[in-house]
Chains A and B, each alone.
Chain A
Amino acid sequence: MLEVRDLVTQFNTEDGIVTAVNGVSYLLHDGETVGIVGESGCGKSVHALSIMRLIPIPPGEIVAGKIFYQERDLLQATEDEMRQVRGGEIAMIFQDPMTSLNPVMSIGRQITEAIELHLELKGKAAMKRAIEMLELVGIPEPEQRVKSYPHEFSGGMRQRAMIAMALSTEPKILIADEPTTALDVTIQAQIVDLVTRLRETLEMSIVWITHDLGVVAGLVDRVQVMYAGFVVERTSVNEIYADPRHPYTLGLLRSLPRVDKRQTDKRLDPIPGRPPDLLGLPPGCPFVSRCRFAIERCLEENPTLEPITDEHEIACWVDVTTASTHEEGIILES
């Protein structure tokens, strides 16, 4: 469906060049949902914006890589071709529906804009489709609500409206960038439930970007974990929780308390330190200063993503199942 190959995206800042996405490659299969998990600054959103060619240039630049969609490289497509793909073939929804909706345009007008651009529907027919879409995402009284403005909607309704807009053109791929992060848990559950149902009806492939290892557990087929611009682990959703092999994934899962389990008096087990400054990445593995498994080699060479089984890849020199650990990373920053 979609293939991202060796994508590198950089930003030119006053202090130097920041490599936000550093050689990311993956496949998104037909009808599949892939979760991309990582913390702020790991490159998960920039990678999505790169696929859509929405990176502001300058200061940003897609330095290398290929993005294949239906056998053509989106990075070579003209701006006109991209306009057909964007919103038409590949749609995107964002974290904050308040800032991604136009406050001075009615919800209906914003949805019909996309419909008129990508489908052969105009005027009343487009509006009818917009109303159907609002109904599909569970907005009550869609005939009236289509005339409302974004500020008249609650946060959950705005996110629904954005989903209605994104899906109104029947895209093949939906890229969801932290769509539930700004929402309360009960509303998050509504949205996840909605997307799960629509995925089946509309036969889409989905890329779900999040920092929350909880949300993806019940939603995606495969997970890929990112750290400092690199993919560090990728496998099926079951495997990532049952048998995480990258020290970062392992650390994340261990530091999370769980709502469904009695908590012992034990302290949480956090990952020490903090994410590296992307301006001055060390030559070795970007996680080395926080890693409890690090060995000498990690300081010098950054491991590439390599398969350890048919469906499990990690970027790590160490086998965490047998390696010994030390309390702190080997070179904690001062």
Chain B
Amino acid sequence: MKNGRTAIVRVEGIRKHFPIRSGILRKEVGAVKAVDGVSFEIYEGETLGLVGESGCGKSTLGRTILQLHRPTEGVIYFEGHDLSSLSGDEMRRMRARMQIIFQDPYSSLNPRMTVEAIVSEPLIVHGVANDDERRSRVFELLERVGLNPQFANRFPHEFSGGQRQRIGVARALALNPSFIVADEPISALDVSIQAQVVNLLEDLQDNLELTYLFIAHDLSMVRHICDRVAVMYLGKIVEIGPVEEIYSNPKHPYTQALLSAVPVPDPSVEAQRQRVILEGDVPNPANPPVGCNFNTRCPVAFEPCFKEDPELKELLPLHHVSCYYAEKELVGHI
């Protein structure tokens, strides 16, 4: 898509279904289709935003890319390697290149470990450096994320939420990764602290040439930090493209509703906005509707939407949409 840019991650037809078991024999009676047929690429050096509401499968997708979940179906290529074909040892080495920052800076740090132990753990696991080198690496990392290295022997509870998130970032950076999944890294932080952490992530990206998958539900922040954005609904990507294109010209009715629902801190704008209020709730991912997943809430659904699931198609340059209505509108036919 973006000409001349190499894909660091390529995801092909990923499905992740979690079995639902019931009865004393724990027989499989169904599956929660958390991720249900997703394909896309993440380019080197970019930030791809992954947005959608809770339960849409965005976190599961992020974790599946890192092989923290084994996909039920589909292939993930990372730096050209098919991750499912790697041996345990090869996979472990590959993991150093891809890291994750978690949402909750309270539960993702072990309360009984010092900051130094937390940040040096990946170095120990991967057998990098001797004790002295490790210590200086930890100090360097703490400095890089804006923490005073003198605090290295303190415990997580002695830090505020924003500082803890910085510790999580330092840990993720320990092994010089090229790709980081940031899973709602700022949602648990106070408003006045969020911008600090976002600036840190942007600085690190510039200095260390990182690629991010930025999972978020804060659409305003995504517009600020991301180059491209993918919108997920009930296990599928419904729209993906350059961030300015999607925000200024959303084509999927779900994206339109989502963007219109985000409040704007400006009463004069708020007074004039046309809000698309969606009816009802997201359907159960164990039992998605027939046809398009969004047809139960869609204000413009028509006949074909109830028969078959639309494909994700490039309806505008670099702008992919999975919607029969948008296709009819833009192409003239389905």
B197's nearest neighbour on chain A, judged by CB, is A270
Q: Is A217 a contact of B265 with CB atoms below 8 Å?
A: yes
Instruction: Determine the distance from Cα of A322 to Cα of B198 in the docked complex, in whole angstroms.
Output: 30
The answer to whether B31 has its CB under 8 Å from any CB of chain A is: no
B148's nearest neighbour on chain A, judged by CB, is A334
Interface centre among A184, A186, A190, A242, by most chain B C-beta atoms within 10 angstroms, is A186
Of the candidates A155, A251, A257, A274, the one whose C-beta lies within 8 Å of that of B223 is A257
Q: Mark B252-273, 1 if CB is under 8 A from A, else 0.
A: 0000011111111111111101
The answer to whether B277 has its CB under 8 Å from any CB of chain A is: yes
Q: Mark B147-170, 1 if CB is under 8 A from A, else 0.
A: 010000000000010110000000
Q: Is A238 a contact of B220 with CB atoms below 8 Å?
A: no
Q: Is B220 a contact of A258 with CB atoms below 8 Å?
A: yes
Instruction: Determine the distance from Cα of A190 to Cα of B276 in the docked complex, in whole angstroms.
Output: 10
Complex contacts, A238 vs chain B, CB 8 Å: 267-268
Q: Is B190 a contact of A270 with CB atoms below 8 Å?
A: no
The answer to whether A13 has its CB under 8 Å from any CB of chain B is: no
Complex contacts, A252 vs chain B, CB 8 Å: 191-192
Q: Is B192 a contact of A190 with CB atoms below 8 Å?
A: no
Q: Is A187 a contact of B281 with CB atoms below 8 Å?
A: yes
The answer to whether A57 has its CB under 8 Å from any CB of chain B is: no
Q: What total of chain A residues lie within 8 Å of the partner, measured CB to CB?
A: 48
Q: Is B160 a contact of A274 with CB atoms below 8 Å?
A: yes
Q: Is B192 a contact of A39 with CB atoms below 8 Å?
A: yes
Q: Is A270 a contact of B196 with CB atoms below 8 Å?
A: yes
Instruction: Determine the distance from Cα of A39 to Cα of B281 in the docked complex, in whole angstroms.
Output: 29
The answer to whether A271 has its CB under 8 Å from any CB of chain B is: yes
Complex contacts, B163 vs chain A, CB 8 Å: 274
The answer to whether B107 has its CB under 8 Å from any CB of chain A is: no
Q: Is A40 a contact of B265 with CB atoms below 8 Å?
A: no
Instruction: Determine the distance from Cα of A240 to Cα of B271 in the docked complex, in whole angstroms.
Output: 15
Instruction: Determine the distance from Cα of A274 to Cα of B268 in the docked complex, in whole angstroms.
Output: 31
B192's nearest neighbour on chain A, judged by CB, is A271
Complex contacts, B160 vs chain A, CB 8 Å: 274
Q: Is B217 a contact of A255 with CB atoms below 8 Å?
A: no
CB distance from B328 to the nearest CB of A (A): 24
CB distance from A93 to the nearest CB of B (A): 18
Of the candidates A190, A253, A257, the one whose C-beta lies within 8 Å of that of B277 is A190
| Chain A contacts with B in 257-289, Cβ cutoff 8 A | 257-260, 262-263, 267-272, 274-275
Instruction: Determine the distance from Cα of A48 to Cα of B151 in the docked complex, in whole angstroms.
Output: 37
The answer to whether B94 has its CB under 8 Å from any CB of chain A is: no
CB distance from B63 to the nearest CB of A (A): 20
Instruction: Determine the distance from Cα of A184 to Cα of B281 in the docked complex, in whole angstroms.
Output: 10
Q: Is A40 a contact of B199 with CB atoms below 8 Å?
A: no
Instruction: Determine the distance from Cα of A140 to Cα of B162 in the docked complex, in whole angstroms.
Output: 41
Interface centre among B194, B263, B268, B278, by most chain A C-beta atoms within 10 angstroms, is B263
Of the candidates A186, A212, A271, A272, the one whose C-beta lies within 8 Å of that of B258 is A186
| Chain A contacts with B in 95-116, Cβ cutoff 8 A | none
Q: What total of chain B residues lie within 8 Å of the partner, measured CB to CB?
A: 47
CB distance from A198 to the nearest CB of B (A): 15
Q: Is A185 a contact of B219 with CB atoms below 8 Å?
A: yes
The answer to whether B275 has its CB under 8 Å from any CB of chain A is: yes
B223's nearest neighbour on chain A, judged by CB, is A263
Instruction: Determine the distance from Cα of A264 to Cα of B219 in the docked complex, in whole angstroms.
Output: 16
Q: Is A237 a contact of B267 with CB atoms below 8 Å?
A: yes
Instruction: Determine the distance from Cα of A263 to Cα of B49 in the docked complex, in whole angstroms.
Output: 15
Complex contacts, B244 vs chain A, CB 8 Å: 262
Q: Is A267 a contact of B199 with CB atoms below 8 Å?
A: yes
Q: Is A274 a contact of B271 with CB atoms below 8 Å?
A: no
A248's nearest neighbour on chain B, judged by CB, is B192
Q: Mark B303-318, 1 if CB is under 8 A from A, else 0.
A: 0000000000000000
The answer to whether B54 has its CB under 8 Å from any CB of chain A is: yes
Of the candidates B192, B220, B280, the one whose C-beta lies within 8 Å of that of A259 is B220
CB distance from A130 to the nearest CB of B (A): 21
Instruction: Determine the distance from Cα of A185 to Cα of B270 in the docked complex, in whole angstroms.
Output: 15
Q: Is A157 a contact of B281 with CB atoms below 8 Å?
A: yes
Of the candidates A155, A214, A237, A290, the one whose C-beta lies within 8 Å of that of B263 is A214
B262's nearest neighbour on chain A, judged by CB, is A259
Complex contacts, B194 vs chain A, CB 8 Å: 255, 270
CB distance from B153 to the nearest CB of A (A): 16
Complex contacts, B196 vs chain A, CB 8 Å: 270, 272
Contacts known (A39-B190, A267-B202, A268-B195); A260 close to B261, Cβ less than 8 A? no
The answer to whether A119 has its CB under 8 Å from any CB of chain B is: no
The answer to whether A211 has its CB under 8 Å from any CB of chain B is: yes
Q: Is B263 a contact of A212 with CB atoms below 8 Å?
A: yes
A-B interface, 7 closest residue pairs, ranked by CB to CB distance from nearest:
A218-B270, A214-B263, A270-B195, A257-B224, A184-B53, A189-B261, A255-B195
Known: A188-B263, A238-B267, A267-B199. 14 other contacts (CB 8 A): A39-B192, A154-B282, A185-B217, A185-B262, A217-B264, A217-B266, A217-B269, A237-B267, A255-B191, A257-B224, A260-B269, A263-B224, A268-B195, A270-B194
24 A-B residue pairings within 8 Å (CB atoms): A39-B190, A39-B192, A185-B262, A187-B53, A187-B281, A189-B278, A212-B191, A214-B220, A214-B262, A214-B263, A217-B270, A218-B263, A218-B264, A218-B270, A241-B266, A256-B220, A258-B223, A259-B259, A259-B262, A262-B247, A270-B195, A271-B195, A272-B196, A274-B192
